[in-house]
Every structure is written in structure tokens, then in C-alpha cells.
């Protein structure tokens, strides 16, 4: 039996939740699998304090057995507590995101011994390279502490999604149980690969509207760039009202809110370039999805995936002036964006079937 542990409700369906759901369904075909998450009542406390948002939920249908922890689950005399404790004791392998909430749940129900049969997935960055809040600084202190490194050495494996995290853990913290396997993507059969727009450069930001994702930098860039560049923003989050106000103030911004699959498909086909000034990222599914549609990726050295230069340009230290400079250059030279070549690279390098086979062999077998 294999357990997947995720603090946020699986129905939140952020990038990590989508990954957890799809991989647990894959593993469940060969071995009994259980998804463990927490109720919205619990997760929204963390969301409100740390993220400034609540965990909205989507309808999720899955054949994987699911246990959702409530407040009662943490009371030792309850049926729920006994069930979860038994699951952690009897399972062969536990996959959990290496975040403090998941680690504490694992410790509470499985005790220290459970770490020895656990795989920690770094779906969020090990460290914030550009900490901006007190909580960001606390995160860096906790995750680089002696106790954290001790736990990491105890784990069966550490799963990282980018080369940067792998190098940090292996070279700086001397961990030998690190395995690099990136995210994969299913190519949308209905996608349309259009040529770069002839009228003006169309730039997309898609994801959570939060400071961590760099939406404040996007706002500054939009205000300072002329109308020769059209911006498109899709998503929701704590900064949503600010984006709505900005869309009413300027002419070069279209704001769509949170889109369904059909809406995402239309926006991706319409845009030329993904602006991705996130301050903390492991490997974004948004980046992969945009690549699959042939969009160029403009990100920073904090989140760079070290892709070929015809796909990705990484700005040093997330500098707004450099973003504006690069956008203006692309605006006058859009012919450098080869959508078909970008999409083909994504299809060759990150196909989900190929990545899933590696995951099964190296992590779950």
C-alpha cells in the first residue's frame, strides 16, 4: 500500500494537487493507494495566515481511496485517528510534499520511524531566493536548519523537479538520496499553434495572483510599458481586486479571472510570451502548458529551468527594468519566437507517459 499525503484539499487542484491526483491514480492501478488530505476548515487557517487566501475547490472524481483529516482525526480516541495511524503503520511507502504541515502530520500519525519509508517531493522550492516577508525568512531558517537536514537524511528518497534544487541538496547539504524527475504534461489534442501576432506582442501571466508569484512586478511592468504590448492575466488570488482595478485604468490589459479548460485554450492560442516573475517555484505546470502551445518563457534566474535560449530568457534577480527591456525587444522582433520549435521541444522532453514511467521505476517500484 502506498500513501500520498497533501495538506491542501486535493480538490483545490493547484499544480501540486493535480500532480498528486494523477500520479496516485497511476500507482493505484498496480498497488492499493490512499490519498490523505485535510479539510477546508483546517487548510484555510493556514491559507488565511500565510497565503492570504482560502482554498477554493473543484469537483474531483477519482477511484483512489481518500481520507480527509478533520479536527476529530487528531484526537487519539477517535475512529478516524486509529484508521489513519493504522494506514501509516501498514503502508509500504509514503509520498509527501516537503512542507512543514505535511511533515508534522506524518510525525503525528506515523512517528519518526515513518520518515524512513517516505519520499519527500519538492513541489515548492527548498528556499526562497527573494524572501520578501517575515514568513519567507522563517521558511528559509526552518528548511535549512540542522533538524531539517537531519530529517532529509533519514528519508528514503528526495524527489526534486529541477536541477537547481538537486545541486543545492547534493552539493551544499551533502545528501545522497536526491532524485531529479521533472514534471510531465499531456499535450492538448485541441491546441492551436498560431504564428506570432502581427499587430503587437501579446504577453500572458497565468496563475495565482499573489506576491509570491510576482504579480506585483507584473503590475509595475504593465504601468510602465506602452500600448505596443498587450497583456493578458488569467487566475485568481489575494491580489485579484488590484488586478481588476488596473484593468479598468489601462487599455493594454485584459483580465479573465479563473478560466476553465476551454478558456485557457483560447488565451494560450492568442498569446506569444509567458511573463513569469515568480519569486519561488519548483517546476511550474503553467510553464509546461505554455511551452506546449509554443509560448516563449520570460522568467528569472530564481525559477529558471535552464531551457534552450530559443525557449527561455531568465532575468537576473527578477529585475523589473530588465523585464521591460526584454519585452520591448521582443515587441520589435517577434519573429524570434518560433512557436512550433518550442512546442516540439516540450513534446519531446516532457511527455507525461515518459515521465510517469520514470516515476514508477525509480520512486514507486
Count of other CB atoms within 10 angstroms of residue 260 = 8
> Which DSSP state fits 227?
T
How far, in Å, CA of 262 to CA of 331, rounded?
27
Q: Which CATH superfamily is domain 2-184+351-364 in?
A: Glycogen Phosphorylase B; (3.40.50.2000)
Q: How far is 267 from 7, CA to CA, in rounded Å?
A: 31
Element (H or E) spanning 349, and its range?
helix 339-349
Task: Write b or e for each residue in 101-128: b if 16 or more Cβ atoms lie within 10 A of its Cβ, otherwise e.
Answer: bbbebbebbbeeebbeebbbbbbbbbbb
Task: Give which of 183, 215, 167 is closest to 287, Cα–Cα.
Answer: 183
Would you say 196 and 272 are in contact if contact means Cβ atoms under 8 Å apart?
yes
Q: What is the mean pLDDT of the chain?
A: 88
Question: What average pLDDT does range 14-30 have in this prediction?
Answer: 88
The whole-angstrom separation of Cα 312 and Cα 330 is 12
What's the pTM value of the predicted model, to 2 decimals?
A: 0.85
CB atoms within 10 A of CB 316: 9
Domain borders along the chain are: 2-184+351-364, 201-349
CATH number for the domain formed by residue range(s) 201-349: 3.40.50.2000
Reported as a pLDDT band with limits 50, 70 and 90, residue 28 is very high
The CA radius of gyration of the chain, in Å to the nearest whole number, is 21
CA distance 5 to 121: 10
Q: What is the DSSP letter of 281?
A: -
Buried b (16+ CB within 10 A) or exposed e, 64-77: bebbbbeeebbeee
Angle 25-26-27 from CA coordinates, rounded to 5° = 95
pLDDT tens digits for 298-331? 999 888 888 999 999 999 888 999 999 999 988 8
Question: Residue 27 in contact with residue 2, Cβ under 8 Å?
Answer: yes
pLDDT tens digit sequence for 330-362: 888 756 788 999 999 999 999 999 999 999 999
Strand positions, DSSP E, the chain: 2-5, 33-38, 65-69, 93-97, 118-122, 157-160, 178-180, 201-206, 229-234, 253-257, 273-275, 296-300, 312-315
Which percentage of the chain shows pLDDT scores above 70? 96
With 90 as the cut, is the pLDDT of residue 226 above it?
no
Q: What is the pLDDT of residue 41?
A: 81
* CA distance linking residue 211 with residue 135, whole number of Å: 13
Whether the predicted pLDDT of 2 surpasses 90 = yes
- One fold for 2-184+351-364 and 201-349: yes
DSSP string, 316-332: GGG-HHHHHHHHHHHHH
HEC per residue, 17-47 = HHHHHHHHHHHHCCCCEEEEEECHHHHHHHH
Amino acid at each position: 500500500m502506498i500513501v500520498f499525503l497533501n495538506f491542501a484539499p486535493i480538490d483545490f487542484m493547484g499544480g501540486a494537487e493535480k500532480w498528486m491526483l494523477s500520479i496516485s491514480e497511476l500507482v493505484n492501478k498496480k498497488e492499493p493507494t490512499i490519498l490523505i488530505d485535510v479539510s477546508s476548515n483546517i487548510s484555510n487557517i493556514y491559507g488565511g495566515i500565510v497565503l492570504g487566501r482560502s482554498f477554493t475547490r473543484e469537483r474531483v472524481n477519482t477511484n483512489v481511496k481518500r481520507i480527509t483529516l478533520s479536527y476529530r482525526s487528531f484526537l487519539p480516541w477517535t475512529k478516524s485517528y486509529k484508521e489513519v495511524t493504522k494506514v501509516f503503520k501498514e503502508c509500504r511507502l509514503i509520498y509527501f510534499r516537503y512542507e512543514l504541515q505535511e511533515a508534522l502530520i506524518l510525525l503525528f500519525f506515523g512517528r519518526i520511524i515513518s520518515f524512513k519509508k517516505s519520499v519527500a517531493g519538492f513541489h515548492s522550492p527548498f528556499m526562497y531566493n527573494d524572501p520578501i516577508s517575515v514568513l519567507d525568512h522563517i521558511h528559509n531558517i526552518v528548511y535549512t536548519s540542522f533538524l531539517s537536514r537531519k530529517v532529509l537524511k533519514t528519508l528514503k528518497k528526495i524527489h526534486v523537479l529541477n536541477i537547481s534544487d538537486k545541486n543545492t541538496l547534493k552539493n551544499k547539504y551533502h545528501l545522497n538520496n536526491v532524485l531529479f524527475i521533472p514534471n510531465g504534461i499531456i499535450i492538448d489534442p485541441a491546441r492551436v499553434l498560431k504564428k506570432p501576432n502581427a499587430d503587437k506582442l501579446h504577453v500572458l501571466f497565468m496563475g495565482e495572483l499573489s506576491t509570491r508569484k510576482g504579480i506585483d512586478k507584473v503590475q509595475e511592468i504593465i504601468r510602465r510599458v506602452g500600448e505596443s504590448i498587450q497583456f493578458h492575466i488569467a487566475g485568481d488570488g489575494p491580489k485579484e481586486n488590484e488586478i481588476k482595478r488596473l484593468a479598468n485604468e489601462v487599455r493594454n490589459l485584459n483580465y479573465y479571472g479563473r478560466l476553465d479548460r476551454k478558456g485557457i485554450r483560447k488565451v494560450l492560442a492568442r498569446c506569444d510570451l509567458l511573463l513569469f516573475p515568480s519569486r519561488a517555484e519548483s517546476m511550474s505546470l503553467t510553464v509546461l502548458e505554455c511551452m506546449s502551445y509554443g509560448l516563449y518563457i520570460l522568467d528569472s534566474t530564481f525559477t529558471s529551468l535552464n531551457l534552450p535560449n530559443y525557449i527561455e530568457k531568465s532575468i537576473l534577480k527578477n529585475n523589473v527594468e530588465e523585464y521591460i527591456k526584454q519585452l520591448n525587444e521582443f515587441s520589435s522582433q517577434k519573429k524570434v519566437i518560433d512557436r512550433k520549435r518550442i512546442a516540439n521541444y516540450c513534446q519531446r522532453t516532457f511527455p507525461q507517459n515518459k515521465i510517469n514511467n520514470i516515476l514508477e521505476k525509480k520512486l514507486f517500484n
